[in-house]
Amino acid sequence: MTEVERRVRLFRNGRNQALRIPREFELEGDEAILRKDGDRLIVEPVRKGRLLRLLASLAPLDEPFPDVDQDLAPLDDVVL
């Protein structure tokens, strides 16, 4: 993977510091996660729905689900 680098200008937007993200670095979506690692800022897109897409792509399981209640006492015998 080739690391691409570009110098950008920082500016004030009200009380916040901001920067313009060049087109070649644009992120998908309308939200991002910003973290600080030492003096580095790391910006990552918020990827929504990835788990649901992954689960939908998986084949159904053919084996039956185990009976996890098998060794438990009946609810009528439980004293709170």
Q: Which pLDDT band, with edges at 50, 70 and 90, does 9 fall under?
A: very high
pLDDT given for residue 47 in this prediction: 83
- Domain extent listing, the chain: 1-47
Looking at every residue in the chain, the average pLDDT score rounds to 88
Distance of CA 77 to the CA centre of its chain: 43
**pTM of the entire predicted model:** 0.53
Task: Say how many Å lie between the first and final Cα of the chain, rounded.
Answer: 59
Question: How confident is the model over 19-33, as a mean pLDDT?
Answer: 92
